[in-house]
Amino acid sequence: MVGMIRRVHKWHFLHLLSTCLVLSGIMVCWDKLSVIPYHYLGLGPSFKINSWTISREEACKFSDHHYLINHKDKCESDNVLLLLFVKSSPQNFARRQGVRLTWGNESYIESELGVSVKVLFVLGVHSQPESRRLIQSQLYQEDQKYHDLIQQSFIDSFHNLTTKLLLQFNWAHTHCSLAQFLMSTDDDMFIHMPNLVHYLQQVNQVGARDFWVGRVFINSGPVRYKSNKYYVSPQLYPWVTYPAYTGGAAYVVSRDVASRIHQASLTLNASIHIDDVFMGICALVIGVTPEAHDFFSGERKSPYHPCIYKQMITSHGHETDLQELWKKATSPEVQNVDSGFTGKLYCSLTKLRLLCSPFNLNTYPCKPSTIF
């Protein structure tokens, strides 16, 4: 009897051990498994993409809005490294000013980093008619002072984000087609501009083609709950998964991709209001796949620490602390924080503690490439 109990316990132990080994293997290989193109599994819309194709006349209706504010000569120089669009709402005056004083300061970028980056805030009109006239007047005054707004006549709302995307790529094609890279971001983002510029310069040196980088989402699917703002009806999008895409909060594409996205959008149905998904559909048409960058953040702020600042590109959710973070993240001391063996060990342990904490999920991933 005792022997039987021991055998049962031994069997349970072996079962538990094998389960742990299988789970460990899945965890180790998860990143590799997650990048398998989902359309190879027969789940994606690649074989149905013709259903999104419409005539140019029909497609034109999605972007047929006139400019209220425009700056056609923003890209006078042919030597623009980055055309940076900041999606903003008309009433977000303080956020735009925060960007101008920190990572969106063109003068700082040119004098300190030695490159040309053109920053434009992209707007529609205020959604409330009773407030629209006053806010529009304030926007005209703001633009007279800073000359960095582009605005069209569509209602600025969540359900018009794809319209705002079309505005960006149309404007880039018409007025700044020679910029090496195009970036789209939100006005509550923090961008570590020195790190971003250095990264793009490295990419540009080896020749940037088919380049699309950001926080990548693979095998995500439409929300079917009508109460959710991300709801997409089965009639509009009947498939199980979306094409791979980067989060709309911040992504960068190379010049050739920007041009081809624009061309694709001229014959695609842009009625889906989730702009990053529409971007994924356009990219599927032109055969471009997004590349994940570990230091493009998720939906939460990245941890505040010099060891993080050394590698960060973007951080999400900064409405009031841009100037404080900019001062800390661009301090010269940050560059030396991981110098020498002791510094590298210190930063590795610090990032392990910060990025693998359950309180910092959905910032930067907890994996060897971000920690060591």
Distance CA 26, CA 320 (A): 40
Q: Indicate the fold that domain 48-292 takes in CATH.
A: Spore Coat Polysaccharide Biosynthesis Protein SpsA; Chain A (3.90.550)
Query: What is the pLDDT, as a whole number, of residue 364?
Result: 94
Distance CA 21, CA 24 (A): 5
Taking alpha carbons only, the member of 97, 118, 259, 113 closest to residue 196 is 113
Query: What is the pLDDT, as a whole number, of residue 178?
Result: 94
Query: What is the pLDDT, as a whole number, of residue 48?
Result: 64
DSSP annotation string for 262-318: HHHHTTB------HHHHHHHHHHHHT---EE-TTS--SSPPP--HHHHTT--EEE--
Distance CA 246, CA 260 (A): 17
Query: For residues 125 and 109, is the Cβ–Cβ distance under 8 A?
Result: no
Query: For residues 326 and 103, is the Cβ–Cβ distance under 8 A?
Result: yes
**Ordered mean pLDDT values, 10 residues apiece, the chain (372 residues):** 44 46 40 36 50 91 95 90 98 97 97 97 96 97 98 97 98 96 97 97 91 95 92 91 94 98 96 95 95 92 94 94 95 93 95 88 89 90
Would you state the structure tokens that stand for residue 290, as one six-digit string?
A: 């997004």
Query: For residues 359 and 296, is the Cβ–Cβ distance under 8 A?
Result: no
Domain ranges of the chain: 48-292, 306-371
pTM, two decimal places: 0.86
Is residue 82 within a helix (H) or strand (E), and if so which, with residue range? strand 80-87
Q: Is 237 helix (H, G, I), strand (E, B) or coil?
A: coil
Query: What is the pLDDT, as a whole number, of residue 360?
Result: 78
Distance CA 59, CA 194 (A): 38
Taking alpha carbons only, the member of 175, 187, 163 closest to residue 90 is 187
Taking alpha carbons only, the member of 225, 275, 232 closest to residue 251 is 275
